[in-house]
């Protein structure tokens, strides 16, 4: 089956993002069933898509919110997430962002460095509060994904490196306004080799024992997000294999009685529910290449330009036999290319093109480069 755009959207001004809320709901149902309430708590990573109608559905499905800026914390609260279901992560939290999150009494900060812990201690003290903190460690576990979205290797800027952990933990005694409640790790995104989560679990097991030996019991473990989706086959695999994902932690993570285990998924929740719909402005044929020039570009979806990512592309107006096209946008960059030599039904000016699996890290990463207007979001 190929992509179906609701008929009344075919005449909408392009480009636009179309979100299939029925698919989002099915994905959320599969996710919450696989997480088994009480077994894993899922916090949705707002960075993947922070549109209010989407967040409200995610909140109603019972998920919490994983935020990486003051803006995301505020958006999560606006969408109805309870403060004690909100986590604030990120390697560079500003004082103003920390102050607002402390005042909102969010569940926890994932802290990534000694200087950040010192600032959390100082600002929490000034508000007469304690900051609940999970230490984000850098476990030096390879996620086997694109280098730009690998986050858990020693060379990456994220987390407290294992060699620094002893010093950080000793220093906690001098931070009376910081309460250590857990450990956090996130090793990367678009992970499809699930065995890396077994490696992560083993590392967390070691660290947990090490912390317990030093008198720190942890009520909370957060194993991050990162579950990948099938960009090649959005119709045959619209919903990720959440069972296999949780199974890795069930099998390999040693949890203490009553301990909460959090995961923070973004992409796997929303990616397949979003499609970037664009119109063909021109077909330009040179001796070597046939270009389909769209009215959407890297300003609407930067993933192909930034990571060389594949998104499945369909001409949803033409039934003609397929030809090879380079599908490009109107932006003044040669990297403004969605795909090279892709087979599309013979394409004419005015045809509609669907760029699939664009619900995560699509609209949120859009820019106004070339003074482009923001594409609208339509929901059904």
Give the residue numbers marked as catalytic. Answer: 332
Binding mask 6-45 for ligand PLP (x = CB under 6 A): ---------------------------------------x
Q: Which of 69, 361, 366, 372 lies at the binding interface for ligand LYS (CB under 6 A)?
A: 361
Q: Report yes or no: 328 and 336 within 8 Å, Cβ to Cβ.
A: yes
Q: Work out what residue 303 binds among ligand LYS, ligand PLP, none; the CB cut-off runs from 5 to 8 Å by kind.
A: ligand LYS
Task: Please list the alpha-helical segments (H only) found in 17-113.
Answer: 21-35, 52-60, 70-78, 95-103
Q: Work out what residue 124 binds among ligand PLP, ligand LYS, none; the CB cut-off runs from 5 to 8 Å by kind.
A: none
Q: Which of 57, 75, 93, 186 lies at the binding interface for ligand PLP (CB under 6 A)?
A: 186
Does the annotation place 266 within a ligand binding site?
yes
Strands (E), 256-375: 260-263, 274-285, 290-294, 313-315, 322-328, 337-345, 352-355
Specify the residue, 45 or 339, whose C-beta has the smaller distance to ligand PLP: 45
Q: Is-cis flag, bond preceding 15, omega within 30?
A: yes
Q: Report yes or no: 238 and 272 within 8 Å, Cβ to Cβ.
A: yes
Question: Residue 164, Cα to own-chain centre: how many angstroms?
Answer: 27
Which residue has the closest beta carbon to ligand LYS? 361
Sequence-ordered list of residues with C-beta below 8 angstroms from that of 242, at least 6 positions apart, any chain? 30, 31, 33, 34, 35, 227, 268
Does the annotation place 303 within a ligand binding site?
yes
The least CB distance from residue 53 to ligand LYS, in Å, is 21
Backbone angles phi, psi at 137, to 5 degrees: -100, 155
- Does the footprint of ligand PLP cover residue 267 (CB under 6 A)? yes
The rounded distance, in Å, linking the Cα atoms of 76 and 43 is: 11
- Does the footprint of ligand LYS cover residue 149 (CB under 6 A)? yes
Which residue in 190, 197, 178, 277 sits closest to 226, CA to CA? 190
User: Which residues belong to the annotated binding site?
Assistant: 226, 264-267, 303, 307, 333, 361
User: Which residues belong to the annotated binding site for pyridoxal 5'-phosphate?
Assistant: 226, 264-267, 361
- Residues forming contacts to ligand PLP in the complex (CB under 6 A) are 45, 48, 66, 89, 151, 186, 189, 224-227, 264-268
User: Which residues belong to the annotated binding site for substrate?
Assistant: 267, 303, 307, 333, 361
């Amino acid at each position: 089956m190929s992509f179906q755009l609701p008929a009344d959207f075919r005449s909408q001004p392009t480009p636009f993002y179309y979100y299939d809320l029925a698919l989002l709901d099915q994905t959320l149902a599969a996710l919450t069933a696989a997480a088994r309430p009480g077994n894993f708590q899922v916090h949705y990573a707002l960075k993947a898509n922070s549109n209010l109608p989407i967040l409200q559905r995610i909140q109603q499905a019972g998920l919490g919110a994983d935020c990486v800026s003051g803006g995301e914390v505020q958006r999560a609260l606006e969408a109805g997430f309870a403060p004690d279901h909100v986590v604030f992560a990120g390697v560079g939290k500003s004082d103003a962002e920390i102050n607002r999150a402390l005042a909102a009494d969010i569940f926890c900060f994932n802290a990534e460095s000694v200087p950040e812990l010192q600032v959390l201690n100082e600002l929490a003290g000034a508000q007469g509060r304690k900051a609940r903190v999970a230490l984000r460690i850098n476990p030096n576990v390879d996620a086997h994904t694109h280098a730009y979205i690998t986050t858990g290797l020693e060379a990456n800027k994220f987390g407290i490196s294992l060699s620094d952990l002893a010093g950080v933990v000793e220093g906690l005694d001098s931070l009376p306004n910081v309460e250590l409640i857990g450990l956090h790790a996130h090793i990367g995104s678009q992970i499809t080799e699930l065995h890396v989560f077994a490696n992560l679990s083993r590392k967390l097991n070691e660290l947990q024992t090490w912390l317990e030996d030093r008198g720190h019991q942890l009520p909370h473990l957060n194993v991050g997000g990162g579950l990948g989706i099938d960009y090649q086959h959005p119709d045959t695999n619209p919903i990720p294999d959440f069972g296999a994902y949780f199974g890795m932690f069930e099998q390999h993570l040693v949890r203490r009685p009553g301990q909460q285990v959090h995961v923070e998924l973004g992409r796997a929740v929303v990616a397949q529910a979003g499609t970037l719909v664009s119109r063909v402005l021109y077909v330009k044929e040179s001796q070597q290449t046939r270009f389909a020039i769209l009215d959407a570009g890297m300003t609407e979806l930067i993933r192909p330009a930034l990571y060389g990512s594949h998104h499945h592309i369909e001409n949803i107006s033409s039934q003609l036999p397929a030809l090879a096209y380079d599908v490009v946008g109107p932006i003044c960059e040669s990297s403004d290319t969605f795909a090279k030599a892709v087979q599309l039904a013979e394409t004419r000016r005015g045809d509609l093109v669907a760029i699939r699996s664009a619900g995560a890290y699509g609209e949120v990463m859009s820019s106004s480069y070339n003074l482009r207007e923001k594409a609208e979001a339509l929901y059904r």
